[in-house]
Amino acid sequence: MQESAVTTWAERVESLKAGSLAALLAALFFGVTLMGNPLLIKWLMPLLMGQMAGSSSGWAAMSDLQLLTSEAIAGFSGFLFGVTYRYILRQDQNPHLKSGAILAFGLVRGLAQVDRVLVDQQSLLPCAILGLESILLFMVARVGLDTALQQGWIKPFAS
């Protein structure tokens, strides 16, 4: 086997490790925020909106299949972020590239959710919360990836 083929497979394995770690972290973060959303809907929204808590909306009204699908999408988004993030860091340690990757992935995911929520609701607060959750999801993945790269668990992409 040629050296370039070995290098290519080694790079693929490292990308798979980065993507898998980011997918796991994104799915875990999504699960944690999923548990917090009913509390947010029940307590914070009525206070901010001046309404009575009583109707079920947002995540609380989703079926188990919808929740599992959303969890899988969060994990897959994390996987794609992890692979992409590893390639972004190959040239230099530019903090703007790191932050830009988080913002780009977070906005794409968040704005897709906002588009869905705006069809059903008039309020912008759930949209802001979903957007913030998406950005935080990729921030958590970035911290995990940066830690793994610093510890040598995942090797940076060779330039």
- Express each pLDDT in 11-43 by its tens digit: 999 999 999 999 999 999 998 888 876 666 666
How far apart CA 138 and CA 149 sit, in angstroms, is 16
Q: Judge whether residue 54 has pLDDT over 50.
A: no
Q: Judge whether residue 61 has pLDDT over 50.
A: yes
C-alpha distances in angstroms, 120 versus 12, 57, 59, 113, 125?
Answer: 42, 10, 13, 11, 13
How far apart CA 20 and CA 24 sit, in angstroms, is 6
- Express each pLDDT in 90-131 by its tens digit: 656 777 888 899 999 999 988 888 777 777 666 677 777 788
* Domain map (residue ranges) of the chain: 3-151
How far apart CA 42 and CA 111 sit, in angstroms, is 24
C-alpha distances in angstroms, 47 versus 41, 44, 97, 109, 125?
Answer: 10, 5, 38, 27, 12
